Every structure is written in structure tokens, then in C-alpha cells.
Amino acid sequence: MSMWQPVRGPFPATRMRRLRRYAWSRSMVEEHRLDVANLIWPVFLIEGARQREPIGAMPGVERITIDLAVDAAVDAVQLGIPAMALFPKTPIHLKSESAEESCNQNNLVCRALRAIRDRVGDSLGLLADVALDPYTSHGHDGLMVDGQIVNDPTVEVLCRQAIVQAEAGATVLAPSDMMDGRIGAIRRALDESGFTDALIMSYAAKYASAFYGPFREAVGSASALGKGDKKTYQMNPANGKEALHEAALDLEEGADWVMVKPGMPYLDIVSQLAQSLQVPVAAYQVSGEYAMLQGAIDHGWLAEKAAILESLLCFRRAGATSILTYFAPRAARWLNG
């Protein structure tokens, strides 16, 4: 006869650890997965040929010349990374109060767009940043009049900038300026210029964050901005409902998908947008997030692969369909096995 006796007292009828016991069962019940197709690779550009410039605040990330950016694009296609985002470091002598260089058909970004498109064709999405901060002598994303950033005149310049970028081969225009009404204006400008298929990824919820410092060093706007801030047009980090309002407005104006920036400190915003609006949501793992993780990795405080992939998976769990990350090529290699 069996000697089994019922256990007396508290006993868990449901044991959550059972499904965690085996690798196959953990995989079978996995709710979210990170794929190379979710990654967008931001790349910094400089003038010249076959040159690389390390970025002090972003160990392992470099500014590269157009020819090397073309090589990087080929690598991206081979790795399965679906898109790259291009950010220029504009030479100081080309910066001005009115950011004329932003609309120059032969500026650094436009030349890079054409060169990459000529090499890889339509096999890679190319995002172009629609904003004036790389081109203004004061480091702001908009035009300045009497010490104030003026909205509507800035939007007029942004429309011209978006058109020259689309002409050069950008498949995604990504306005990051946070001016009111710019998505609708850019959509109309693109359509009227024959670029009805050009996508718009709106930086819909871009916060006035402390996590942008290394990026501003990378594009050369930090010294121009000085002790200034962008709080009159970027969002207050204390606000969440406002992000829903901003994103809804941008979608109404013609955005194809919306972005939250920064990423990890704002996962709640990513989740709210994804659940409430039921649209594609991008998250930008910004330069400050990269610097913190890479710095800890370099000191041996975090395990490189595990920490990076976990940080990216959390964006997927929150609802992001695409992730802009400087870790993209590393993550792609790991994910490809």
C-alpha cells in the first residue's frame, strides 16, 4: 500500500516555478521576444574620408565619414538590421542663426543618404533627423528671435529640410524638434512634393532630459547650447498624460508611428502609448543610457551581453515595436547566433 499521506497545513496548489524548470518550457511560455528586426542603428557622421573620431562620453561609438557609413550600411543589411538613423556633426563654419545648412541639398546628411542608397538600394531603411540643432549656432532645435524659440518660422524651415532629405533618399523623416504642428506641415510638404510614400516617425514624446549629454557632444551642439536648456519645447519629465496628447495629435496630423525619448527611464510612457493608441511605438535608448551601461560593462560591473539584451528586451515588454540603440550591431550579432 502507498505510504503517501496528505500534507497538512499551507501548501501551494499552483507552483509558478514548474514552468521555469526547463529551458524549453521557459521558451515556450515566453511572452515577449527581441528580434534583429526591432533594431534601428543610430550613426554619427563627420566630413572627410576613411576617418573615425571616438566620442569620449560614448565609449565604443565613433563619428564616421560617409564612406565608412556606407560600409556600416552594408554591415547592417548583412546583420538583418532593418534601418539606420543618420546624425551629422556639422562643421562650425557652416552653422548659423537661421540654420541654412539644414536645407542644403549637398549637406553632410544628404550626401550620406545618396551614397548609402546608391550602395544598398531599398534593402535598408534610412531615417533622417528633422531638426535644426546640428545646424544652429546657438544649439537649439528651432529658430531664435529675441532669445525665444519661434514655432511657426521654424516649421517652415523643417518642411524644406524634410524635402531635401527625402530627395536625397531618406525613407523615414523623423522630426525631433518638438515644434507644434510640424507633423501636419511636413506631411503636406512631402505630399505636395511627390513624396507620398515617405514615412514620418514622430519624436512625439521627447522629454527635456538630462540623458542627452553624450549625444550633444557627438553632434557638436553641446558647446553652442552652453548652459541653455530646451524646456520651452521639450516635455517636462514629470508629465505622462501630456505624452498621450502629443502622440495623438501627431498621429492625427499624419505620423506613421511615434517615438518616446529617452527610453528606459520612460518605459511607462512607452507602455501607455502602445496600449492606449494601438499604433507602432518606437523607443530611443539614448546616449546617456548607453554611456551608463557601457561604463558599467567596461568596469566589469555588468555582464555585457546579458545586460544589453535585457535592456533591449524591456522595451519590447513595454510595447515598443522598434528600438533605436547604439548597441544595434552588437545585439544583432548575438541574436543571429
pLDDT at residue number 227: 73
C-alpha torsion 247→249→252→258, nearest 10: -20
CATH superfamily, domain at 34-336: Aldolase class I (3.20.20.70)
Verify cis geometry, omega within 30 degrees of 0, for the bond prior to 88. Answer: no
Which ranges of the chain does DSSP label H, i.e. alpha helix? 23-28, 66-79, 108-120, 151-168, 182-192, 213-219, 222-225, 241-253, 267-277, 287-298, 304-318, 328-336
Paired residues of 44 in beta bridges:
63, 87
Q: How far apart are CA 98 and CA 94, in angstroms?
A: 11
pLDDT at residue number 13: 79
Q: How far apart are CA 229 and CA 94, in angstroms?
A: 22
**How many Å separate Cα 133 from the centre of its chain?**
16
Q: How many CB atoms lie within 10 A of CB 222?
A: 16
C-alpha radius of gyration, the chain, whole number: 22
Q: How far apart are CA 270 and CA 258, in angstroms?
A: 10
Q: Which residues contact 247 (CB under 8 A, 6 or more apart)?
A: 202, 204, 205, 258, 273, 277
Q: How far apart are CA 286 and CA 255, in angstroms?
A: 21
pLDDT at residue number 14: 84
Task: Kindly list the averaged pLDDT for each block of 10 residues, start to end, along the chain of length 337.
Answer: 64 84 90 96 97 94 97 98 97 94 98 98 97 93 93 97 98 96 98 98 96 79 74 94 97 97 96 95 96 97 98 97 98 97
pLDDT at residue number 2: 63
pLDDT at residue number 1: 55
Residues recognised as catalytic: 206, 261
Could you say which DSSP state residue 8 is in?
P
Cα–Cα nearest to 209, from 165, 151, 260:
260
Q: How far apart are CA 133 and CA 151, in angstroms?
A: 14
